[in-house]
Amino acid sequence: MDIASRPADSDENTQIADAAPPPQAPPVIRREDYLPPAWLVPEIALDFTLGLEATRVVSKLHVARNPDGNGASTLRLNGDQITPLAVRVDGAAVSDWRLDGADLLVELSGDAHIVEVETQVTPAANSQLMGLYASNGMLCTQCEAEGFRRITFFPDRPDVLSTYSVRMTGDKATFPILLANGNCTAQGENADGSHWAEWHDPWPKPSYLFALVAGELVSNHSTFTTMSGRKVDLNIWVRPGDEDRTQHAMDSLIASMKWDEETFGREYDLDLFNVVAVSDFNMGAMENKGLNVFNTRYVLADPETATDGDFDAVEGVIGHEYFHNWSGNRVTCRDWFQLSLKEGFTVLRDQLFSADMGSEAVKRIEDVRILRAAQFPEDSGPLAHPIRPDSYHEINNFYTATVYNKGAEVIRMMRTMAGAEQFRKGTDLYFDRHDGEAATCEDFVKAIEDGTGLDLKQFRLWYSQAGTPQVSVSLTHEGSTATLKLTQKVPATPGQPDKQPMPIPLRVALFDRDSGAHAGEKLIVLDKPSDTFTFDGFAKPPVLSINRGFSAPVSIDFDREAEDLVFLAANDDDPFARYEAMQNLVVQHLVMAVSGGLNDETRAAGRAAIGRAFSAILTDPALDDLMRGELMILPAEGYLAEQMLIADPGAIHTEREALKAWLGRECADDLIALHDRALAVPYSRDAAARGARKIKNQALGYIAAGNNEEGARRALDQYRAADNMTDRQGAVLVLASLDVPEREEALADFRSRYEGNALVIDKWFSLQAGSFHPEVLANIRKLAEHPDFTMTNPNRVRALYMAAAVNPKAFHDASGDGYRLIGDLIRRLDPINPQTAARFVPSLGRWRRIEPVRAAMMREELERIAAEPSLSRDVREQVSKSLG
Ligand code: 0A1
Ligand code: ZN
């Protein structure tokens, strides 16, 4: 063999390994340390010899000295758990390469060379699901953020863009379908039963967008003609047997392609677009160029197995990944600190898309609910970070609700201030200016500034300051003038004790109490610590509607009369504000109740106000059912806890459940009428039928809370009559929390009916783990022993344990067993799949905001994890920040 090879455990390597920092102190990567790469790789050719147990990779890099680099003669190629079996420079074997930790260093004398490296990986043993791994008998890759270095040695950073050519050879029976990025340029068969394919992607891309898939797959094929008349072949690839559940994904893909042309002027740029569904996947999906890889969960949907929510999620994620083709792929990120450049913008794009496909109002409410449930707690806890972080230990830990969802809110604010039309000028300029580049968040803001004419100097603070701003509101009235006084405070977060005031765009309207109308909405921008705004023409004190449409991701502190909230819940013409009024009404009441601030009389008065607003929602003929269903949802326990400095989860649970039961009894007749009306609507995917299903399940929940027997009877009837998953799951959801005989019947039927359907069996696990059943914790422990449970499939792990971690009754059980359950899970899962294990840490990290007895137990659990001798970088970072 003419290629140099040497063992990985040579003396030199051992010495370097000894000198490496101890595993307890992973290096900190800082944004301010960014340096351009010393070497670029304009072209790469990869040759794979595929096998589930062993895959050989020969990679040929055309490297060129970067004129903007530091001129170093050493080429640094990142690696992770791989060994260079052979290294060759310009065709000749070399032996002066060395390892620095996991990286391969090669000395180069000239300005351009061809560097070849050979590696071998073991896909079947790759339980982390990063790099090349086996899933369900097929091979697939996941390279974002730093998975490519687990396949071959490469400058694995997003600012190194290369043109990829891929050749792969594999056994034809095991891997009948061979896919990679771009277009298939050649294929053929060998005499030994193997076959091969060559793929070429003409668009230069960073390594994190590389993908390869090989296995037995069938496709739903369609075509799309782009706005310039180019025909694109579309395929959704799934395992044989799943093809009947791919049409919604295909429809969503076609709708996404059309929408991006119409709304952002973005056209698809290859002749082929492939989507592959895999059942073992750490996240939702991945936007690899021309070859998106999806968690099956966001591809497969039919009425029998997917709820309306699942259908919406498929549409949203298909859109999200497709939109990345421009926001992420054509314009990518310079470094991982800029992650929100692609993620925040793409989330905004998918939100706008889903809003256009369905109800804008309902979509906005759902998005805000997600932000409040996932991002607000992050922003007020030990893991708080700006949407553009300043440092990290492990980049996988920064795929967060802050980077994604708050990132989207920040861009949405720019759009609100500029108006949609001007904003489009800004995004056009951004795409034009940076096409083919690895850009920064600063580049994006500058393009929006230049394209819209906005001055975003102070606005840039939204990128650098963490923490949810709090806006205190007071409204006074004198003569015919109403004066609005606003004060902002951006709370201290780890590493950021002092904050500057930020520009906060607030859409406001003042309602005349008598007419129930307002004289027009205004956009005001609070950009000082405190400011006043006056409004004329009010004979009586008006009712203020503020942060309409949730125009800024802030929390509003406005102590006001319940009657004003009842008024807005019934009259506000902004659907979000109407929802918000209802939420505030309940939040104010429950916060008082939990803190012991209610006596019999004030409790009765508070409930009566909520009851009036709730009953108006149930019966308002002008409301569509999708919106009605939204308005019926009580604020989540986690969101209630957020409103208190120190929360008592037990008291919150009791009070919220008591209110729900009271509403169930108080409004029983209306709820039963609603449930009966909805039961009569036949299944269809139109808005009216979806609305009917939504209120059906909402009503059922309240009926059961008010009267267990009536609820159980209705739930079982609904279950038996169901011809779709929304009704079936809604019924089981209610029964799973009740201690009634109907519960077992429904759960057993559900399991046997869907035996072998992994996504529905996931539901069966989460319905039980998320329930408020008295024995929920014991049930979860039993389910962990169930033959269908496995630690190696992230969907199954999340189905059981994430459902438990977000279930306040299970997680915050006074015994501390819920904390122990999650602590045990993290310790067991970490060696298998650190990325997924680390996602469970933040729930325990909330301890500072929880009453002292529970807080001590949560902390103890974190300490137990910290004491593990060999934690992954992922879990180590989250645990030490949570304790620190
Ligand atoms: N870029 C993807 C998210 C993603 C990130 C990391 C992954 O590694 C397992 C997978 C997917 C997105 O935003 O859709
Ligand atoms: Zn994304």
Q: What is the Å distance from ligand 2's center to 98 Cα?
A: 36
Give the separation between CA 652 and CA 531, rounded to whole angstroms. 35
With the most atoms of ligand 1 within 8 angstroms of its CB, the residue from 151, 286, 292, 345 to mutate is 286
Q: What is the Å distance from ligand 2's center to 419 Cα?
A: 24
Residue nearest to atom 12 of ligand 1 (CA): 286
Which bound ligand lies closest to the C-alpha atom of 327?
A: 2
Which bound ligand lies closest to the C-alpha atom of 408?
A: 2
Determine the atom of ligand 1 nearest the C-alpha atom of 399: 5
Task: Look at residue 335 and tell me whether its pLDDT is greater than 80.
Answer: yes
Determine the atom of ligand 1 nearest the C-alpha atom of 281: 9
Which bound ligand lies closest to the C-alpha atom of 343?
A: 2
Residue nearest to atom 1 of ligand 1 (CA): 286
- How far CA 566 is from CA of 120, 530, 611, 627, in Å, comes to 66, 28, 10, 17
Give the count of alpha carbons within 13 A of 595, CB side only.
13
Mean local confidence (pLDDT), 360-366: 98
What confidence tier does 24 reach under pLDDT thresholds 50, 70, 90? low
Q: What is the Å distance from ligand 1's center to 338 Cα?
A: 14
Q: What is the Å distance from ligand 2's center to 290 Cα?
A: 15
Mean local confidence (pLDDT), 361-365: 98
The pLDDT, as a whole number, for residue 449 is 98
Q: What is the Å distance from ligand 1's center to 302 Cα?
A: 25
Mean local confidence (pLDDT), 265-271: 99
Residue nearest to atom 8 of ligand 1 (CA): 144
With the most atoms of ligand 1 within 8 angstroms of its CB, the residue from 132, 135, 149, 283 to mutate is 283
Q: What is the Å distance from ligand 2's center to 821 Cα?
A: 31
- pLDDT tens readout for residues 521-548: 999 999 999 999 999 999 999 999 999 9
640 in Cβ contact with 591 (< 8 Å):
yes
Give the separation between CA 50 and CA 98, rounded to whole angstroms. 27
Residue nearest to atom 5 of ligand 1 (CA): 144
Q: What is the Å distance from ligand 2's center to 414 Cα?
A: 20
Report residues near ion ligand 2: CB below 5 Å: 343, 346
Determine the atom of ligand 1 nearest the C-alpha atom of 346: 13
- pLDDT tens readout for residues 821-837: 999 999 999 999 999 99
Q: What is the Å distance from ligand 2's center to 720 Cα?
A: 39
Task: Look at residue 791 and tell me whether its pLDDT is greater than 80.
Answer: yes
- pLDDT tens readout for residues 637-648: 999 999 999 999
First to last CA, the chain: 53
Residue nearest to atom 2 of ligand 1 (CA): 286
Provide, rounded to the nearest whole percent, the portion of the chain with pLDDT above 90: 97
Instruction: Name all residues whose Cβ lies below 6 A of ligand 1.
Output: 142, 144, 282-287, 320-321, 343, 399
- pLDDT tens readout for residues 380-406: 999 999 999 999 999 999 999 999 999
Q: What is the Å distance from ligand 1's center to 755 Cα?
A: 29
CA dihedral 332, 334, 337, 340 (to 10 degrees): -20
What confidence tier does 51 reach under pLDDT thresholds 50, 70, 90? very high
Q: State the average pLDDT for the chain.
A: 96
Which bound ligand lies closest to the C-alpha atom of 284?
A: 1
Just list the catalytic residues.
321
Task: Look at residue 7 and tell me whether its pLDDT is greater than 70.
Answer: no
Provide, rounded to the nearest whole percent, the portion of the chain with pLDDT above 70: 97
The pLDDT, as a whole number, for residue 25 is 66
Determine the atom of ligand 1 nearest the C-alpha atom of 320: 14
Mean local confidence (pLDDT), 335-355: 99
Task: Look at residue 14 and tell me whether its pLDDT is greater than 60.
Answer: no
Determine the atom of ligand 1 nearest the C-alpha atom of 129: 9
Q: Which two tokens stand for residue 768?
A: 């039980």
Mean local confidence (pLDDT), 271-286: 98
Mean local confidence (pLDDT), 329-335: 99
Mean local confidence (pLDDT), 9-32: 56
Residue nearest to atom 11 of ligand 1 (CA): 286
665 in Cβ contact with 673 (< 8 Å):
no
Q: What is the Å distance from ligand 2's center to 839 Cα?
A: 17
- pLDDT tens readout for residues 559-610: 999 999 999 999 999 999 999 999 999 999 999 999 999 999 999 999 999 9
838 in Cβ contact with 397 (< 8 Å):
yes
The pLDDT, as a whole number, for residue 26 is 78
Backbone angles phi, psi at 59, to 5 degrees: -120, 135
What confidence tier does 320 reach under pLDDT thresholds 50, 70, 90? very high
Which bound ligand lies closest to the C-alpha atom of 147?
A: 1
Q: Which two tokens stand for residue 519?
A: 């004289």
Residue nearest to atom 6 of ligand 1 (CA): 144
Contacts with 60 (C-beta within 8 Å, 6 or more apart), sequence order: 44, 45, 46, 47, 114, 115, 116
DSSP string, 213-254: EEES-EEEEEEEE-TTS-EEEEEEEE-TT-GGG-HHHHHHHH
Report the 10 Å Cβ neighbour count for 30. 12
Question: Which is nearest to 285 in space by CA: 319, 234, 259?
Answer: 319
With the most atoms of ligand 1 within 8 angstroms of its CB, the residue from 397, 399, 404, 795 to mutate is 399
152 exposure class (CB count in 10 Å sphere: 0-12, 13-18, 19+): buried
Residue nearest to atom 10 of ligand 1 (CA): 283
- pLDDT tens readout for residues 136-191: 999 999 999 999 999 999 999 999 999 999 999 999 999 999 999 999 999 999 99
Mean local confidence (pLDDT), 725-733: 98
Amino acid of residue 245: R
Q: What is the Å distance from ligand 1's center to 321 Cα?
A: 9
Task: Look at residue 23 and tell me whether its pLDDT is greater than 90.
Answer: no
Q: What is the Å distance from ligand 1's center to 121 Cα?
A: 22
The pLDDT, as a whole number, for residue 13 is 33
Contacts with 490 (C-beta within 8 Å, 6 or more apart), sequence order: 465, 467, 469, 470, 499, 500, 501, 502
The structure tokens 């998918």 sit at 350
Task: Look at residue 8 and tell me whether its pLDDT is greater than 60.
Answer: no
- pLDDT tens readout for residues 483-525: 999 999 999 999 999 999 999 999 999 999 999 999 999 999 9
Query: How far is C-alpha 369 from the chain's CA centre?
Result: 13
Residue nearest to atom 4 of ligand 1 (CA): 286
Q: What is the Å distance from ligand 2's center to 882 Cα?
A: 26
The pLDDT, as a whole number, for residue 11 is 32
- pLDDT tens readout for residues 430-482: 999 999 999 999 999 999 999 999 999 999 999 999 999 999 999 999 999 99
DSSP string, 108-161: --SSEEEEEEEEEE-GGG-TT--EEEEETTEEEEE-TTTTGGGTS-B--STT--
Which bound ligand lies closest to the C-alpha atom of 836?
A: 1
Question: Which is nearest to 841 in space by CA: 879, 869, 883?
Answer: 879
Residue nearest to atom 9 of ligand 1 (CA): 282
